[in-house]
Amino acid sequence: MAGTSSAAPAAANVFAYSDRQIEQAAAMLWPGAVVRLGVHTPSVTAYVRRVQVDGRALFAKVSLLGLSLVSVLRGTAGDWAQVRAAQVAYQGSPGTLLEREARGLDILREEAGVPACRVAGHQNGVLFTEQVTGPTLADLLAKDPQRTGELMTRAVVELTGLQRPAVARKVDEAAITERGIGSTFDRKFNGISGPTYLRKAGQAGDMLSTLVLRLRRLRPTPAAGHRPVVYGDLKPDHVVFPDGADGRPVFLDPGLGRGRPQADPAKLISRTVLGLIASAPDLVTADATARGIEEFTDALTADLAPGERAEWLRHLVVLWLMDTTNILSTYLTSPPDLPLPEHAGKLTARTERVCGLLETTSAGLAAGTGPRAVWQLALAGVVKATNR
């Protein structure tokens, strides 16, 4: 039966199948080329592997049914035979997730003037992109936390071209709705499956259940009127600086769509804070990063009137907490045979600290404390959560 662990596909089967798909797709795209599979990049979302095609360095990505790997390996889409059969049908249908992702990468570069990794090919459910080399925003923040505010602001400013009218029209035809903070939160926690799901999160499950209820009440009503185009998956790992910290960044793994203006900053802040907590930094680093994050939100809200600024921050904080709840619970409930990114293990070892931060920050909002005060307390809480 779908959803039970006995029927869930094994990671080894999914990976072996994906490798064959990558080899077959490469052979179709580049007949006669020498194809070498390189190392696997652990991800909870897609199967990603480096590949050399006639010496050219590429990344190959396979997404089963447009679902996250965690969902597939948990048995959400049935057993392995069912998933494979469904994938054949999915791949042949228009508008698959990777097709929209490839389109999004082209829109970024060609319509929005945003540097993004180049699509090398898209075939048989496999997306090949050209490797971008250089330190990521995550690397730079760890190395030079004093530059946090400036680097985060520059990353977001670099995405300004997304608001061109021609871009919005094209994005609407290829929107990736699957990866939004709100849609992910709903998918994970809504309805009858939510409580069952969180029970798998161990001791933290109870705390996260309470938090989910609170966040649901705090969540802003759907925005009326203009909804800007958002990058959609703005993580510090997805922003690469090939020419170092002073050069222009290049973006990876977009999830273009419409959203709130706070969606991209919220994800960037959420993942930066989790990276910081996972890295167990010294106090100076933690302090500089928290200060830089405040500088970043100050820059983004500089033109707003005080009342607007408070509302902006309130939505930012709610989205931040929702994203952190999403990813923490994904890591905590991930099937044991799925290799996780390096920071995930370090983070889950500090689950209590993250939950403490989520709890106090959301309690502040729920109690009606002003958003600016909540935001300042949250940033102080970030520093406290990193304390070794």
* Interacting residue ranges for ligand ADP, rule: CB under 6 A: 41, 43, 45-46, 48, 59, 61, 117, 129-132, 237-238, 252-253
289 binds, among Mg ion, ligand ADP, none (CB under 5 to 8 A by kind): none
Identify the CA nearest to 126 among candidates 195, 53, 196, 187: 53
Are 218 and 365 contacting, i.e. CB atoms less than 8 angstroms apart? yes
Bridge pairing between strands 47-53 and 56-62: antiparallel
Rounded to whole angstroms, how far apart are CA atoms 251 and 232?
12
Interactions with Mg ion, residue window 138-177 (CB under 5 A):
none
CB of 158 or CB of 253, closer to Mg ion: 253
CB of 64 or CB of 211, closer to Mg ion: 64
Residue 143 C-beta: closest distance to ligand ADP, Å: 17
Element (H, E) at 104: helix 97-110
Show the tokens assigned to 300: 């983004």
Beta partners for residue 47, in sequence order: 62
Bridge pairing between strands 119-123 and 126-130: antiparallel
270 binds, among Mg ion, ligand ADP, none (CB under 5 to 8 A by kind): none
Which residue from 101, 158, 178, 253 is in contact with Mg ion, where contact means CB under 5 A? Answer: 253
CB of 68 or CB of 289, closer to Mg ion: 68
123 binds, among ligand ADP, Mg ion, none (CB under 5 to 8 A by kind): none
Are 166 and 261 contacting, i.e. CB atoms less than 8 angstroms apart? no
Rounded to whole angstroms, how far apart are CA atoms 271 and 213?
22
Residue 121 C-beta: closest distance to ligand ADP, Å: 12
| Residue of closest CB approach to Mg ion | 253
Which residues fall within 8 angstroms of residue 93, CB to CB, at 6 or more apart? none
Part of the chain binding Mg ion (CB under 5 A), chosen from 11-19, 210-218, 250-258, 379-387? 250-258
41 binds, among Mg ion, ligand ADP, none (CB under 5 to 8 A by kind): ligand ADP
* Residues contributing to the site for Mg ion (CB under 5 A): 253
